[in-house]
Amino acid sequence: MQSPGHPSLLVSLLIGAFVVWRFYSRIRRMVVRQKLSKVRPWITVCALPVVVALFAVGSIAQPLSMAALLGGAVIGIGLGTYGLRLTRFENTPEGLYYTPSAHLGVALSVLLIGRLGYRAMQMYSATDVSGTPPPAPFTGTPITLLIFGALAGYYVTYAIGLLRWRRSVLNTTAAAASS
């Protein structure tokens, strides 16, 4: 019986399918009304800056990559602030809800997916036999880091905005209940 294919190709396809599924579920969630979670914004605010810092440390030897990452983060902060202005917030008896601007989140996610797909195809098609050097890793390309920085800046800014809104609603509710 013949093997189903090269094991590394199968692993790559499985990882790719997982990544596509996660991106699909994230994008799908961006376009609908969502209940504000007490934990999810905190995870975003804590985890993404750590990942950005790790990428920044990894690109210390490449000033252009570091500048692209930080420039992307600044762009993302601006987009996150704009996205918060476009968000519809709702304080209902069932809880706190918000409907994000679908265009910004989806556009940034699709941009990142496209870039990662392009880089994966580049790396997969590079062969040692051709004599060309393999492409730089994902974190070694300024364009990829610019896009990731923008996405991270957007999500962190957006999560901070959600936390601030939640706090202001809870403070208003507490003040109304005490008077």
Tokens 């762009």, residue located: 75
On whether the CB atoms of residues 88 and 98 are closer than 8 A, the answer is: yes
pLDDT digits (tens, 9 = 90+) for 42-95: 999 999 999 999 999 988 889 999 999 999 999 999 999 999 999 999 999 999
Q: Which of 124, 146, 123 is nearest to 62 (CA)?
A: 146
Backbone dihedral region of 126: left (phi > 0), alpha (psi from -120 to 50 degrees) or beta? beta
Q: 3-class SS at 134?
A: coil
C-alpha span between 144 and 53 (Å, rounded): 15
Statement: residue 109 has pLDDT above 80? no
97-101, 123-127, 165-169: least confident range: 123-127
For the chain, the helix, strand and coil percentages under 3-state DSSP, each to the nearest 5: 75, 5, 20
What pLDDT, on a 0 to 100 scale, did the predictor assign at position 179?
A: 75
Rounded to 5 degrees, what are φ and ψ at 27? -65, -40
What pLDDT, on a 0 to 100 scale, did the predictor assign at position 2?
A: 47
C-alpha span between 87 and 100 (Å, rounded): 5
Confidence of residue 133 (pLDDT cuts 50, 70, 90): low
Measured between alpha carbons, how far is residue 88 from residues 31, 109, 137 in Å?
A: 12, 20, 39
